[in-house]
Structure 1
């Protein structure tokens, strides 16, 4: 397999956590931003709010961290996410890390709090457990599951401030609140099922149940007749100056440091909007989730996390990276060009976005890119990505909201930008991949879900016409794994099924026999000559639809997430953080 790396054009921040501390090095107040680098190792960025100077400190391991806790201005405790769920401890005076700690069964630590015993507690995914950390001994313990509901995978979040107890929010299949007794290790439920935590106050706990606030005595856990939520002492959030997804922390001066995407600002509460400043560190190279090509042969791509896009010009080897494309957090899955405009489908707000590369950037006022109508709240993740359909409009496949099995399709009319949506065309199954040719839209389904364990289902391959009607479908056996679908241009549609590729023929509307390749196929795409490239984790095969001939092309440079073909027939691959040109 002959490939050429074009470097790492995708670069962005995804700030998950924030906190402040007095730096023992110079006695100045600093703010810590915790950055998630998809497909790489995350980092901390320390900002001096007064000077704007920054300090970049790589994490010892994992992609990033939600959990940030200042321990007495002596240590920063970091709970990581993505793969390993580390508890990292940074000594602020020496800027050195202690040995990483982790529970081998947990991948995420969501937040950290200090209990009434002076120890540190954290919630996790996927075990829904409570972790306890001793900062003096540098020891981490698993205190057990916090939910009897086996489908609950999250203990997010955890709260101190309850004498003798830790309050744990469990979800997302059957959300509820659990109180864990520090002395006995026993648990008890608090409040009605589905209630969310508003806060922990002096002597009370405030929950939100539906549209009603419910308060409980934090010593007896009896329900209080009076709503004391107005007594919560959590500092108010700063005014929404620029909109969008923000993380923020109060400063000693009474101002706020607020992060918005790739920038931050210091807000003193005055009438004038504060200046947006770039985060004072180099954007790290991050994983490429999706790529596509424009008419000029430039490659456009989306970051694996962080809601940014990039453009790479192969002729000049230059790249541009955007600010966030929409106000909601998450990342871009779907990318498709139509009429010179780039149409995007994004998680987690279920947003459709359109960007005109020929016009000035103006996301802050929603002028360019423009966020169009959303499919949220029922659908939130464009797991099937996006294609241009036979009608010339942009079609995207979706997964349902957290805690729900299901999915759907959406269409953006590229002339009017009106949105149409079809929810659950295959009941309780997500749309996992979408393709199109000159006559139809095609998609496959599966039992994956947001916040729930995958469900064993009988997945479907569906042929869909542009009026929103199923014209043909095939239900596979229960437990079959369908991972990807690709159209060759009218005569064949390839379906990745386990360790084989199966072709659908639109003219006779039939499925041919599966063609085994010898390894599980996770992604298929169409080559310029009408053949199919079938990618496993680290290998690729070329399959001729007309004959079923399989050519072993060879090992790939890594896991291929996406493929794009220019009008001139040049093939590009997204391999981790690398953009690769492929000659076949």
Structure 2
């Protein structure tokens, strides 16, 4: 006979393996609490987006012999910390690599020429250093608990300055003494000290979520704010800065304009519109030119004397993260060459004399699997996986073949929706909607084509539902802004109609549709970097034709986000908010029941909490880091999976998919349940076996006598023989897998999984009132079969 998904139980609970000669109930073992054997089991599907090399910030320096180096902190994930790595720019070899003790992402790295050391900070707050030649990274601790480090710069005298989030503070570190000093919030109300440029006397600081520029006087400790030109008053961030002679060059977002500020006169003397990339180079050896990239022109040389610029004929397909003037000790690259790093771990070199170039790829750098942001069910039956700051792209998992395909170029995905054969996904930043025809090959730029942007300061399209011929989209605004939006996108025309602040100062993070009306759930949070002003999340009803809000209520007092809205077959709306499940009657527009079923948990947008009604009649919920099954008639809950579960999608067979960090999992209802054993019986056993509570496992057992399973208890029998009847009434689960039973089998009213697989029964089989229905495969019965155990 063919065996189906039957792992051995021999290694389970080895200390409990007993050969009993008396009934289990009399064996002196304290019974465990009843634990139902629910249908299905968890499968690990691995990392759908593997091997990501992403270093959000880079820096360059040299070792003691003057050999140039590039420094990376490649991002990790929830399971794997980030990794510090150093590349020798002359040879292209990775000369040092160490997985960090803590911290996942880094946007802060600087090389101090004063002491020949690279310093780097993590968004989780850790600060590290490494001096070329050291055998290990030095852990400098978490200087300011609760504050992530978002930018670093070393002053000429070796003092290292850092900017933080969410306090927007400027701090300094003295390597000579090990002293940290917090100099306070750089600009009142600004939560990110996003970019820094330190000189002998001061530190320039650029902020987010409002683009503000200030100078810190190192002697007096005072901050002096500098007003940007009027047209940038509503910009979001001063992102990058470089000091070149007496000029401060700063890039602002979202325009990406480069502003040239004369620090002597206190005036802005030039604006270069729409540059591309993170960084502006230091002046060349002549002191006259700095370099940066413009997408349509490639790298350009900016003349600090004339404030004009011209392309140099070098167009690397990347935007710069750091620049350095480097001696390659190579006759093809005489003098100093310009070296540019890119956050995917790549290095580009250009020599201004010979115009020769060199490329060093990322193959030798070590990355980590990409953290999953969201899951979606495609109209083609695939399960789609979006990931954080995803340079590789998104993934498609094929439930039929088990194959995972990488779809390059998708970016960071916040949510998925469908219409017809099309998969639509929302991309961060700038709230782009991309439309993928799943019947045609993936070709980024063509299928899907260029993104359609949601305007009105939106950034994260998270919730999708089709209503008529349009797709409704719920979104979160940009950093530092309150007021998400409900947008209606018409795929036929490309038109987007946006209704912002349908619930004032709240984001729209969940959607459902019924009878032509939209039902939306909100989060009190806006974009990162701003505190909410609302105190309770709401449920609203909107008319998609007009955008008018027809009803607004707080379904769960004190809830910070309403998520995972879904309708049942009777037209009742179900939702979850911070651990509380509720139902809502669209007819009376009232909450009909509300009960906290799960541990209370909060997140910015509650994207980890979703709902799904399966064909078995149960409601499945991801909430509080677990996957739950809820009986909609009794509201009884069963925890299926735990430990950091987030997001939820389903395939056409009704199997459920969820994420833990960077890993994808499936709750496969076709797999045999594997509840842990409280007591294991193996070998010969004479006499009855009575399972009164907990889970009893028969593993390679030969039982001469009856087996009785009491209400709530679980029996798991594998590769065993029972010479007597097997009876279960109201059991928590009954699994017979590879078992020979000489006698009748009767399973009635089980509230957990019932499996009769590869089993021979000499006698009748009777199954009635079991919920869920039994799984019956390769059942060989000598006698009548009654009720649910008749094999198809």
TM range (shorter): 0.7 to 0.9
Asked whether the equivalents of residues 76 and 367 of structure 2 are also in contact (C-alpha less than 8 Å), the reply is no
| Pairing partner for 1:126 from 166, 171, 178 | 166
Q: CA deviation at 1:520?
A: 1.6
> Conserved in 2, the CA contact under 8 Å of 1:309 and 1:322?
yes
Matching residue of 1:350: 431
Match of 2:142 among 85, 102, 105: 102
Residues 283 and 113 of structure 1: CA distance in aligned 2, closer, same or farther (over 3 Å): closer
Task: Establish whether residue 89 from structure 1 lines up as the match of residue 129 from structure 2.
Answer: yes
Root-mean-square deviation over aligned CA pairs: 3.7
Aligned residue number for residue 506 of structure 2:
429
When residues 273 and 295 of structure 1 are mapped into structure 2, their CA distance, relative to the original with a 3 A threshold, is: farther
User: 197, 202, 207: which one pairs with 2:245?
Assistant: 202
Q: Counterpart of 1:305? A: 389
- 8 A contact 2:247–2:260 mirrored in 1: no
TM-superposed deviation, 1:463: 2.3
Q: Does 1:249 align with 2:290?
A: no
Give the counterpart of 2:623 among 523, 536, 550.
Answer: 536
1:250–1:353: structure 2 CA closer, same or farther, 3 Å change rule? farther
Q: Which consecutive residues of structure 2, in runs of 5 or more, have no partner in the other structure?
A: 1-37, 273-280, 284-288, 296-314, 327-335, 670-792
Quote the offset at 1:8 in angstroms: 1.9
In 1, Cα distance between equivalents of 2:490 and 2:614: 27
Question: 2:111 — aligned with what?
Answer: 70
Do structure 1's residue 37 and structure 2's residue 115 form an aligned pair? Answer: no
Partner of 1:399: 476
Question: What do the CA deviations read for 1:457-496 (whole angstroms, capped 9, x no partner)?
Answer: 4432122344243463223288542331321355122222
Partner of 1:187: 223
Is 2:622–2:647's contact at 8 Å kept on the other side of the alignment? no
Aligned residue pairs total 563
Match of 1:114 in 2: 154
CA shift in 2, pair 1:261/1:310, >3 Å: farther
Partner of 1:236: 291
Shift of 1:566: 0.9
Which of 183, 187, 192 aligns to 1:154? It is: 192
- Aligned residue number for residue 206 of structure 2: 169
Q: Higher mean Cα deviation, 181-190 or 84-93?
A: 181-190
TM-score w.r.t. the length of structure 2 is 0.63
What pairs up with 1:406-417 in 2 under 5 angstroms?
406-417=483-494
Q: Deviations over 1:306-365 (max 9, x none)?
A: 252112234544323343325xxxx211123444333210111211123345655543xx
**Among 369, 375, 379, the residue aligned to 1:285:** 369
**Alignment of structure 1 residues 548-567 onto 2, 5 Å:** 549-554=634-639, 556-567=641-652
Counterpart selection for 1:483 from 557, 562, 573: 562
Whether contact under 8 Å (1:536, 1:559) holds in the other structure is no
CA distance in 2, matches of 1:377, 1:404: 11
Aligned to 1:371: 450
Q: Measure, in 2, the Cα distance between the counterparts of 1:272 and 1:493.
A: 64
- In the alignment, the residues of structure 1 paired with residue 662 and residue 267 of structure 2 have an alpha-carbon distance, to the nearest angstrom, of 56
Q: Deviations over 1:281-318 (max 9, x none)?
A: 35411321111233554321011332521122345443
Q: How does 1:437-456 map to 2 (within 5 A)?
A: 439-450=516-527, 451-456=529-534
- The aligned counterpart of 2:408 is 323
Answer yes or no: is the 8 Å Cα contact 1:18–1:31 preserved in 2: yes
Cross-structure match for 1:61 = 102
| Local SS of the residue matching 1:44 | strand
Do 1:462 and 1:472's aligned partners in 2 also have CA atoms closer than 8 Å? yes
Is 1:3 the counterpart of 2:25? The answer is: no
- Does the C-alpha gap of structure 1 residues 27 and 436 become closer, same or farther in structure 2, counting only changes over 3 Å? farther
Q: Give distance in 1, aligned partners of 2:292 and 2:594.
A: 56
Whole-angstrom CA distance in 2 between matches of 1:226 and 1:170: 18
Give the match for residue 789 of structure 2: none
Instruction: Give the unaligned 5+ runs of structure 1.
Output: none
Q: How many Å separate the matches in 1 of 2:344 and 2:468?
A: 35
**3-state SS of paired residue (2:56):** strand
Distance in structure 2 (CA, Å) of the matches to 1:336 and 1:15 = 30
Question: What displacement does 1:49 show?
Answer: 4.9
User: 2:664 is paired with a residue of what secondary structure?
Assistant: strand
SS for the counterpart of 2:162 is: strand
